[in-house]
Chain A
Amino acid sequence: MSLLTRFKKDLVEIIDKDWGEPVILIGPDGHKQTQTADDETKSLKGILSRESVNIDPGTGFEAVVPEPVLILRLGSLTRVPKASEKWSVQAPPTPGSETLQSYTLSGPPEEGSTIGYINLPLRKVVQI
Chain B
Amino acid sequence: MAFQIIRDSVMDNILIPGEQDQFRTVGHPLPLEGSEALLKNKRAVAFYYAEGDLTGGQEYEPYHDMIFYLELMVAANAQADLKVLEKEFPEALQNEAYSIALSNMQAAEYLADRLMDDLIAIVYQLVMKAENDELAIDRIEPSSGVRVHNRLITKIEKFPPESPGEQTVMKALLTLKCQAEEDIEGEEPLGEIGAGDSIIGEYEPYPPGAELE
What residues of chain A have their CB less than 8 Å away from a CB belonging to chain B?
26, 28-32, 54, 56-59, 63, 65-68, 86-88, 90, 100, 102, 104, 106-107, 122-128
Minimum CB distance partner of A87 in chain B: B102
Q: In the complex, which of the residues A29, A67, A88, A127 contacts B166, with contact meaning CB atoms closer than 8 Å?
A: A67
Cβ of B80 within 8 Å of any chain A Cβ, yes or no, is yes
Given contacts A67-B166, A88-B85, A106-B163, whether A26 and B102 have CB atoms under 8 Å apart is yes
Provide the residues of chain B in CB contact with A54, threshold 8 Å: 33, 164
9 contacts between A and B (CB under 8 A): A30-B94, A30-B99, A58-B32, A87-B102, A88-B80, A104-B78, A106-B163, A124-B77, A128-B81
Give A86's nearest chain B residue, CB to CB.
B102
The reply to whether A68 and B78 form a contact with Cβ atoms under 8 Å apart is no
Nearest first, the 9 A-B pairs at minimum CB distance are: A30-B99, A30-B95, A63-B33, A30-B98, A56-B33, A65-B165, A124-B166, A58-B31, A86-B102
Q: Is the CB of A126 within 8 A of B82?
A: yes
Per a CB cutoff under 8 Å, which of B34, B85, B86, B99 touches A56? B34
Tell me if B17 counts as interface (CB < 8 A to partner A).
no
Interface majority SS (helix, strand, loop, mixed), chain B: mixed
B2 part of interface (Cβ distance < 8 Å): no
Contact of A100 among B83, B86, B103, B163 (CB under 8 A): B86
A26/B164 contact (C-beta < 8 A), A123-B78, A128-B80 known: no
Q: A65-B34, A65-B164, A86-B102 are in contact. List 17 more A-B contacts (CB 8 A).
A: A28-B102, A30-B95, A30-B100, A31-B98, A56-B33, A59-B31, A63-B31, A67-B164, A90-B86, A102-B82, A104-B105, A123-B108, A124-B78, A124-B167, A125-B78, A125-B82, A126-B78
User: Chain B residues near A88 (CB, 8 Å)?
Assistant: 80, 85, 98, 101-102, 105
Q: Enumerate chain B residues within 8 angstroms of A58, measured Cβ to Cβ.
A: 29-33
Q: Which of B51-110 contact A (CB under 8 A)?
A: 77-83, 85-86, 94-106, 108
Distance of B36 from chain A, by nearest CB (Å): 8
A-chain residues with CB within 8 Å of residue B167 when the two chains form the complex: 123-124
Report the separation of the CA atoms of residues A30 and B74 in the bound assembly, to the nearest whole angstrom. Answer: 31
* Assembly CA distance A106 to B108 (angstroms): 9
Q: Evaluate contact between B166 and A123: CB separation under 8 angstroms.
A: yes
Closest chain-B Cβ to A120's Cβ sits at a distance in Å of: 14
**Residue in A32, A56, A106, A107 whose beta carbon sits within 8 Å of that of B98 in the complex:** A32
Closest A residue to B98 using CB positions: A30
Q: Which residues of B contact A56 (CB under 8 A)?
A: 31-34
Contact A125 B77 (CB under 8 A): yes
- The reply to whether B83 and A127 form a contact with Cβ atoms under 8 Å apart is yes
- Assembly CA distance A107 to B81 (angstroms): 21
A28 touches B165 (CB 8 A): no
Q: Is the CB of A26 within 8 A of B166?
A: no
Residues of A within 8 A of B34 (CB): 56, 63, 65
Most A CB contacts (10 A, CB to CB) among B81, B96, B108 go to B108
B99 and A123 contacting across the interface, CB-CB below 8 Å: no
